[in-house]
Structure 1
Amino acid sequence: MDEYGERVRRALTESGTSLRGAAKALSYDVAYVSRVINGKQSASPEFRKAVATVLGVPADPGPASYDDEEAAWDLARRVQASDVGGGTLERLELAFDELAMAYPKSSPEALLERIRKHSAYVGKLLDSKKTLAEHRRLLVVGGWLSLLGATVHIDLKQDDAATARLQTAATLARESEHPEIEAWCFETDAWRVLTAGDYSRALELSRVAQSLAPSGSSALIQATAQEGRALARLGESGATYDAIDRVHDLSSAIGEPDRPEHHYKYDPNKALSYTATTLAWLGDTAAEPYARGVIERLKPNDDPSRWPRRVASANIDLALVLVSGNRLDEACDAAQKAILSGKVAPSNHWRALEVVRAVEARALPEAAELRDAYRELRAADDL
C-alpha cells in the first residue's frame, strides 16, 4: 500500500465512512477507490482533489510534521457538532499566540513557514460548515495570522507580499468588526514605510492607527511609539518628546502583561527600547541609559548569537549615540556585536549601515572591519 492510499484509508476509518459510502460521496466507482487505497492504481489529480474536499486528505501531504498536526486537528474537528468546532478554534488561537511569542527570537524564514501553514488551515475551515460565532472567530484568527505574516515579510524586505498580507488582515478585521487588528495594520504599515525612508507617510499612518485603536489597547501604545520614531526622523524634537511621554503614560496604565514576549501585547518594558531608538535618532545622549538598560535586562549572556532581536537593536541605538558623543571605540564595539549577532533583520540593515557610515566618516581604523561585518550580514540574508 502506498503512502497516499494509507492516508485515505486512515481518513475513512477515523470518520467511520465505509468504502461504498466514500465511493458514493466522491462520485467514483467502488472498485477504483479500492484499487487506489490498496496501492494498485495511482490516484488521478481529480480524485485527489475530490478526496481533499470530502475527506480532508491533502492532495500533497507537505512536511510530515504539518500533516500529522492537521490530521490531529481534523480528527478533533470531526467529533464536534459543526464542521469547525470550538476545540479546533481554540487550538488555532493558541497556535497564533505561540507564533506571536516566538517572533522576537525566531528566524523570520522559519516563522513565516509556520504562519503559512496555519493560514492555509484557516482558509480551508472558512469553506466548512460553521456557526456565525465560529465564522467570526476564524476571521479574527486569520486576521492576526495575516498581520503577523505581513510583519515577517517586512522584516525580510518582501514589500509586495507584506502589502498583500496587510490588505488581507485589514479586510478580515473589518469583516469581523475587530478595530484593534485594523489599527495594527496601519501601525505595521507605518513601520514598513519608515524603514523605506518615507517618514511623513509613517507619521500619517501611525496617527490613523491611533484613531482606530481601542482606548488602552496595545495597538494604541505601539502606534504612539511609531509616531514618536517618525517625528524623530523628521527632526521635530518637541513633538518627539511629547510622543515619548504619551507612550510612557499609556504603558504605565496597563501594567505587566501575562505574556510579555507576545508581539501584540504591549509590555511596558518595551518602552525602554522605543525610547532608546527614538532618542538615538534625535541625537540625544539621553538615549544611552535606555539602550544600556535594554541590553542589561534582556541579554542572556555574552554570546551575541543567543541574543533576542531587541538586544541587537539596542546595541545599534547605543552605537549611534556613542558616535554622536565621539566615543568611537565604544561605538564600534556595540555596532560590531549587533551585526555579528545575526539578529539584525533585513528591515533594520539601514540602521546598522548608519553606524558603519558614521564610523567611516571619521576614518577610524575599525571602519574596514565594521564594513566587512556589515557585508557579511547582507550576504547571509541574501542567501
Structure 2
Amino acid sequence: MADTDRESTLWTLRKARGWTQQDLVDQFQETAARLGRPIGISLRTVSRWESGNPPWPNVEAQRVLEKLFCLPISQLGFVATGDTVSPSVPAKAEQSDVGPATMDSLHQAVDQLCREYPSAASDTLHQQARGWLNYTTRLLHGRTTLAEHRELLVIVGWLFLLCGCLEHDMGQRRTAELSRAAAARIGAETGHGEITAWSWEMAAWFALTQERYGDALAAAQAGRRPASGHSVAVQLLAQEAKAHARMGSPIDVRKALDHGRGLLDRLPRPAHPEHHFVIDPDKWDFYEMDAYRLLGDDARAGAHAAEVIRLGTRADGTTRSPMRVAEARLTLGVGSARSGELEEAVDNGMAAFEPARKSLPSLLLVGSELDAELQARYPREVATRDYREHLRALATVARRALEA
C-alpha cells in the first residue's frame, strides 16, 4: 500500500469519528489502559502514522489500534508482524482481503450512524457518514470477492441514503438528490429492493417539501413494488397519505392510512426504533397528525400532536425526537390559530424553531401553514408579524444552503 493510501485511510477513519488528532491520542491511551497495555503516543506520533513516515506502530500499538478502530491492522495500512514494519514489506494479500471483521465493523458503524439521525447535529453526522462512505468506497477499489463487492455496494447504498436525508435536512437540495439517485442506482445494480424503495420514499419526501404533490404521490406509489416485504412500505403509504391530504382528497388519505396501519400492526417491534431506516411504530401518530391537520380535523390532529410530544420527550424533559416534536408544535399552533388562540398559536410556532436539530424543508413547509392561518385571521397583530419574521429568517438560512 502506498504511503498516500495509508495516510488517507487512517486520516479518514479518524475524521469519520469526528476526532481531532488529540482525540485520537486520548482514545488510544484509554483503549491501551483497558487492554492492560500502558503505552502512550503523542500528537507527533499520530501525524507520522497518518503521513506514513517510519517508525510505524510496534506490535503493542497495533493491537491497540485494532481494538480502537475495530479493524484488522492490515486495513489501517500496517502489517501485524514484527516490532516495527518496514516500508519495503509487501502486504498486498492482506490489504486486499476485506474479511468478516471489516464487514462487521462497517455494518456496526452504519447502524450507529442511522440510530443517531433523529437527534445528532446534522452537519457533524453528515461529516461522519461521508467519512465512512469514502472509506468504504476505497475498499471497493481493492481486491474483493464477488460477495464482498456486493456487500460493500449495499453498505455504500445505505450511506448514500443517510447522507441524502441529512443533506435535505440542511437545505442542500441538489446534493441530496445526487445522493438519493446514487442510492437508487446501487439498489438497482445489486437488486436490493429495500434500498430502492427508500430511494423512492426520499423522492416522495423531497417532492412534498417542494410542493410537487403529484410527483410525491407518483414516487410513493412507484416505491411499493420494491418495498414488498419490507417495513419501508409503511413509510411510503404515509407519504402517499400526506400527498393526498395536500391535494384535498380525504377518502384517499383514509385509505392510505388504513393500509399503512394494517401493515404496521403486522410488523414486529424493532429492537432499535430510533434507527432512521427502521419503521418506528410510535411514529404513526406523527403520520396521522400531519394528515388530520391538513384535512382540518384539529381535534384529532391535536391529540396525535400531544402524543408525538409525549413520546418524543424523555423523563428528564429533554427531547429525543426534536424534528417530530417541532412539527407537533406547529400542528398545535395551527389548531390554536383556527380556534382563536393567537398567543398560544404563536408560542407553539416559535417553540418549533428553537431546536438546533432541524429538517429545514419540512419545518418551512409546515411553518408556512401556520403563517397562512395567522395571516388569514390576525393580519394586523404584532405576534403575527413576529412569527413571520422568524419564519423568513429560517427561509433565508435554507436559501443560503441551497445556493451554497
TM interval, shorter chain, is 0.7 to 0.9
Describe the SS at the equivalent of 2:270. coil
Whether 1:145 aligns to 2:164 is no
- Whether the aligned pair in 1 keeps the contact of 2:118 and 2:320 (CA below 8 Å) is no
Name the structure, 1 or 2, with higher relative contact order (CA <8 Å, separation 6+).
2
Q: 1:98 aligns with which of 112, 118, 121?
A: 112
Q: Contact 2:204/2:217 (CA < 8 Å) preserved in 1? A: yes
User: Mean Cα displacement is larger for which, 305-314 or 188-197?
Assistant: 305-314
CA contact (8 A) 2:200 2:219 kept: yes
Q: Distance in 2 between matches of 1:218 and 1:63?
A: 31
Give the match for residue 73 of structure 2: 75
* Distance in 1 separating the partners of 2:268 and 2:129: 29
Instruction: Give distance in 1, aligned partners of 2:249 and 2:316.
Output: 36
Give the aligned partner of residue 250 of structure 2.
237
Q: Which residue of 1 aligns with 2:44?
A: none
- Per-residue deviation at 1:159? 1.9
Change (3 A) 1:64 1:127: closer
8 Å contact 1:300–1:307 — kept in the other structure?
no
Task: Please give the secondary structure, in 1, of the residue aligned with 2:389.
Answer: helix
> 1:307, CA displacement in angstroms?
5.7
Alignment of 1:318 with 2:332, yes or no, is yes
Aligned residues: percent identity? 30
Q: Report if aligned partners of 1:257, 1:267 keep a CA contact under 8 Å in 2.
A: yes
Q: Is there any run of 5+ residues in structure 1 with no aligned partner, and where?
A: 1-24, 26-49
Q: Would the alpha carbon gap of residues 266 and 307 (structure 1) be closer, same or farther in structure 2, given more than 3 Å must change? A: closer
Once the 2 structures are TM-superposed, how far is the Cα of residue 302 of structure 1 from its aligned partner? 8.8
Q: Which residue of 2 aligns with 1:268?
A: 281
Change (3 A) 1:352 1:201: same
- 1:211-259 Cα shifts (integer Å, max 9, x gaps): 22122x2211110111000000100010001111111111111131100
Structure 1 contact 340–373 (Cα < 8 Å) conserved:
no
User: Is the aligned partner of 1:351 residue 2:349?
Assistant: no
More displaced, 221-230 or 281-290?
281-290
Map of 1:248 onto structure 2: 261
SS at match of 1:254: coil
1:360 to 2:310 alignment: no
Determine if contact 1:315/1:338 at 8 Å carries over to the other structure: yes
SS of corresponding position for 1:300: coil
Higher alpha-carbon deviation: 351-360 or 188-197: 351-360
- Deviations, residues 61-91 of structure 1 (Å, cap 9, x unaligned): 4695548699743616467695211111111
What is the Cα deviation at residue 109 of structure 1? 1.2
CA 1:101–1:60 in 2, change beyond 3 Å: closer, same or farther?
A: closer
2:209 counterpart of 1:187? no
Q: Is the 8 A contact 1:316 1:351 kept in 2?
A: yes
Contact 1:307–1:343 under 8 Å retained in 2:
no
Paired letter, 1:324 = R
| C-alpha distance 138-238 of structure 1, shift in aligned 2 (>3 A) | same
Q: Does 1:57 align with 2:29?
A: no
In structure 2, relative to structure 1, the CA distance for the partners of 1:234 and 1:313 (3 Å cut) is: same
Q: CA deviation at 1:369?
A: 2.5
Aligned residue for 1:327?
A: 341
Report if the CA contact (8 A) 1:190-1:205 is conserved. yes
2:181 counterpart (156, 167, 172):
167
Q: How many residues of Structure 1 are paired with residues of Structure 2 in the alignment?
A: 332
Whether the 8 Å CA contact 2:322–2:355 is kept in 1: the answer is: no
Stretch of structure 1 that moved more, 356-365 or 285-294: 356-365
SS in structure 2 opposite 1:57? helix
Letter in 1 for 2:104: E
**What is the deviation of 1:376?**
4.3
Equivalent AA in structure 1 for residue 226 of structure 2: L
Q: Which amino acid aligns with 2:185?
A: T
Check whether the contact 2:13–2:131 (CA below 8 A) recurs between aligned residues.
no
Task: Check conservation: 2:153, 2:186, Cα contact below 8 A.
Answer: yes
Q: Is the 8 A contact 2:9 2:135 kept in 1?
A: no
* Stretch of structure 1 that moved more, 62-71 or 134-143: 62-71
Q: Does the CA contact (< 8 Å) of 1:318 and 1:334 recur in 2?
A: yes
Deviates more, 1:104-113 or 1:259-268: 104-113
SS of the residue 1:197 aligns to: coil
Q: Taking structure 1 as reference, are residues 302 and 329 closer, same or farther at Cα in structure 2, changes over 3 Å only?
A: farther
SS at match of 1:264: coil
Contact 1:207 1:223 (8 Å CA) reproduced: yes
* 1:51, distance to aligned residue in structure 2 (A): 2.4
How far 1:96 sits from its partner (Å)?
A: 0.9
Question: Does the aligned pair in 2 maintain the 1:304–1:338 contact within 8 Å?
Answer: no
Q: TM-score scaled by structure 2?
A: 0.75
Q: Does 1:197 align with 2:218?
A: no
Partner of 1:29: none
Q: Residue 366 of structure 1: SS of its match in structure 2?
A: helix
1:226 pairs, out of 219, 232, 239, with 239
What RMSD over aligned residues (CA atoms) do the two structures have, in Å? 2.7
Corresponding residue number in structure 2 for 1:115: 129
1:374 to 388, 391, 398: 391
Q: What secondary structure, in the 3-state scheme, does the structure 1 residue paired with 2:104 have? A: helix
